[in-house]
Structure 1
Amino acid sequence: LVIGCLPIFGLRLSTLECLYSPMCLQKLSNLTKNIYNNLWLLNISIPSRFTPVSSTLIRTLIDESFIESWHIKSNYSNYFEICAPSTCQYTYEKRHDALYILTTFLGLYGGLTVGLKLIVWYVLCITAKVQEYLIDRRRRVEPINEW
């Protein structure tokens, strides 16, 4: 057994070898003062992929989810025969993170800035030309032809 700052740190660095030894198991039972009344000696002769199982770190067992073997049997043809879907589609959901939102807003701001500068410039030019035309029209002197 290993002792760490937190019990979980010590547990992850420990092995199960004490649970395979009768003397160590008795000491552990005495230390826990009957909190765990039914401590059983583990059988080392049972085959395991964690070899030797007595010296495998508990961290390794936790990381491997205590799974000895995992068998995946996929039969998609049977699935499609039973379900007989007329169409097959899937959806992909993606959450936008802070960086995506920030760049989107900066792009929107930049696009609006450039777009509004161009629009305001052309509107001001057209307004100035219309105003100049109106002023020029008022100033224009037309001769009066008297017969």
Structure 2
Amino acid sequence: MLPILLDLLDTNSASELRPLTGLLRNLARHSTNKDHIAKNTVNILVTKLPSDGLQKTPCSEVVVNICGALNHLVTCSSLAARDVSYFNGLPKLIGIKTSHDNSSGGLKAARAASTVLCNMFQYSKLHRDYKLKGFAACRLFLQ
């Protein structure tokens, strides 16, 4: 079922992405094997993230769902946190967190990205990887 859902994410239609990302968020939350889900989904979810909070596609509800799915995976799996970093998710999450409009959707997306970053920072064994990617300052993760 998971490969089919991931194939369906290859669209730019907000009306299709919103329920799909919501389903993936719930699947990530209630899955018993988060490492397996992380291995298969993190790359695709990170590629769907905008580079900052000012981009209009995907819509803020989709960004919140993607960040929610990533957060559920990151809280239980250091593999997911490592993969988010490996697939260049850090600059996207920091961009969403720091540059956004003041709409309610933009603020929700910024808060969701901030939560993912905060939970990623909890894995001290990954701090070296973050530093190698140029994200050494903990203020980027925790503010």
Query: Structure 1 length as normaliser, TM-score?
Result: 0.20
Name the structure, 1 or 2, with higher relative contact order (CA <8 Å, separation 6+).
2
Which structure has greater helix proportion? 2
| Bigger Rg, structure 1 or 2 | 1
